[in-house]
């Protein structure tokens, strides 16, 4: 595992993004109302302390906070670095190793205070887990064994009103990875090693900017090749970040290691596809909705702000089978990020739109 893993990333833009989902599939992502902090170990394969007291301490944290926190072992240097791990560690900072972070906060752990730090971290995790989240994400991973691809759909839901610039990232983690670690040898069993991101950037895609209303939901997608990897040792992690200046602050995390197979999903009962073009709209774009069969419920095609407000309705009615096109004009809308929402009252499909 070294640098630039082979992968296909699904870029969460509106260019030529098509899907075919059943009504049942669209309802399948459940967003839990949980608050789970992120615990990150900044580490390196050549670091003897990372394979010494830091090795034991990370396992103690795993034991203490199972199912209440999400874990990253992020290599900033050495044999197991990836673009994702270096981006994560660079965001958190730190000039030594091992360093342990709870969300973005350096916990100041040393070999001399591990017992106290262990208790302090567990108390913080318990307090966070007992609180009401501002936002959380649900995960739907589908593993296609025939093509060795893992496709992930993640949905963020805001449970409270929020203000700021929020992002949702999707990550692939090795639950157990066998590889060299100074202090442990050539066959060390690394736990929760962050491997790759499935989105266009290491910190995901923007899901809101400015005032965001409670109840706002945004879905993003990612895909990665898992050829040569042991699927039983993989975990999908989602993190909601809040960007403050140049730093991404971890807000909430979730994880899933039970993967669906394509054959286990329901047969589509109402297939559709959506295409929006061009990539960035400076004057006028097009929304293309294609239905395999005539709709039985009324559809709405709406442009909404990042706060969840409907700023324009492009279509309202019961569409017949075939392809429908709707004009999406920049007009008097302020430049920025918006979301295009298509819904028949049961199924909800959301796309990110940039007006220039």
Please identify which residue in the block is written with the tokens 């993003």.
220
pLDDT at 26 over 50: no
Query: What residues have CB less than 8 Å from 236, skipping those under 6 apart?
Result: 139, 141, 150, 152, 170, 171, 172, 173, 255, 256, 257, 259
pLDDT value at position 23? Answer: 32
Main-chain dihedrals φ then ψ at residue 54, nearest 5 degrees? -65, -30
Say whether domain 272-355 belongs to CATH 2.60.40.10.
no
Strands (E), the chain: 38-44, 70-77, 99-102, 105-106, 135-144, 149-158, 162-181, 185-197, 205-212, 217-225, 234-244, 247-256, 272-277, 280-281, 284-291, 299-304, 310-317, 322-329, 336-343, 348-355
In the chain, % of residues over pLDDT 70:
89
- For 132-176, what is each residue's pLDDT tens digit? 999 999 999 999 988 899 999 999 999 999 999 999 999 999 999
Q: How far apart are CA 312 and CA 304, in angstroms?
A: 7
Query: Whole-angstrom Cα distance, residue 299 to residue 64?
Result: 48
1-18+31-257 and 272-355 have identical folds: yes
Q: Is 179's pLDDT higher than 80?
A: yes
CA dist., res. 329 & res. 312, Å (int):
10
The confidence score (pLDDT) of residue 263 equals: 55
Regarding the domain delimited by 1-18+31-257, which CATH topology (the fold level of the hierarchy) does it fall under?
Immunoglobulin-like (2.60.40)
pLDDT per position as a tens digit, 68-101? 999 999 999 999 999 999 999 999 998 899 999 9
The pLDDT confidence band at residue 269, using thresholds 50, 70 and 90, is very low
Return the pLDDT at 297.
Answer: 86
pTM of the model: 0.73
Q: Are strands 70-77 and 280-281 parallel, antiparallel or unpaired?
A: unpaired
pLDDT of residue 12 exceeding 50: no
DSSP 172-212: EEEEEEEEEETTTEEEEEEEEEEEEE-SSSTT-EEEEEEEE
pLDDT confidence of residue 29: 84
Residue 278 has a pLDDT of 86
127, containing H or E segment: helix 114-129
279 pLDDT higher than 50: yes
What does each C-alpha distance from 87 to 71, 164, 247, 248, 252 come to in angstroms? 16, 22, 11, 11, 18
Q: List the beta bridge partners of residue 253.
A: 239
Domain range summary for the chain, segments of one domain joined by +: 1-18+31-257, 272-355
- Pairwise pLDDT comparison (234 vs 279), residue with the higher score: 234
Average predicted confidence (pLDDT) for the chain:
88
The answer to whether the CB of 44 falls within 8 A of the CB of 75 is: yes
Query: How is 283-297 classified by DSSP, letter by letter?
Result: SEEEEEEEESS--SS
């Amino acid at each position: 595992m070294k640098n630039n893993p082979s992968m296909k990333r699904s870029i969460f833009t509106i260019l030529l993004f098509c899907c075919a989902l059943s009504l049942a599939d669209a309802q399948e992502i459940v967003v839990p109302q949980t608050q789970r902090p992120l615990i990150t170990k900044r580490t390196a394969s050549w670091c003897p302390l990372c394979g010494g007291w830091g090795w034991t301490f990370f396992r103690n944290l795993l034991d203490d906070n199972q199912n209440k926190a999400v874990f990253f072992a992020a290599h900033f240097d050495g044999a197991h670095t990836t673009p994702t791990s270096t981006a994560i560690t660079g965001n958190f900072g730190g000039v030594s190793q091992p360093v342990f972070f709870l969300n973005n906060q350096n916990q100041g752990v040393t070999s001399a205070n591990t017992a106290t730090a262990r208790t302090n971290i567990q108390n913080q995790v318990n307090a966070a887990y007992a609180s009401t989240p501002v936002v959380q994400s649900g995960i739907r991973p589908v593993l296609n064994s025939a093509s060795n691809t893992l496709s992930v759909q993640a949905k963020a839901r805001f449970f409270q009103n929020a203000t700021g610039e929020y992002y949702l990232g999707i990550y692939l983690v090795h639950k157990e990875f066998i590889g060299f670690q100074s202090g442990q040898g050539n066959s060390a069993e690394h736990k929760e090693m962050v491997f790759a991101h499935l989105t266009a950037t290491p910190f995901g895609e923007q899901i809101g900017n400015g005032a965001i209303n409670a109840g706002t939901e945004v879905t993003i997608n990612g895909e990665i090749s898992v050829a040569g990897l042991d699927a039983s040792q993989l975990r999908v992690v989602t993190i909601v970040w809040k960007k403050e200046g140049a730093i991404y602050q971890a807000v909430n995390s979730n994880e899933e290691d039970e993967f669906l197979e394509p054959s286990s999903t329901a047969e589509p009962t109402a297939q559709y596809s959506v295409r929006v073009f061009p990539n960035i709209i400076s004057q006028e774009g097009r929304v293309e909705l294609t239905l395999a069969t005539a709709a039985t419920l009324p559809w709405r095609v709406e442009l909404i702000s990042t706060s969840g407000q409907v700023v324009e309705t492009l279509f309202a009615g019961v569409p017949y089978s075939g392809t429908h096109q709707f004009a999406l004009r920049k007009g008097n809308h302020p430049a920025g990020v918006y979301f295009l929402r298509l819904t028949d009252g049961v199924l909800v499909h959301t796309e990110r739109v940039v007006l220039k």
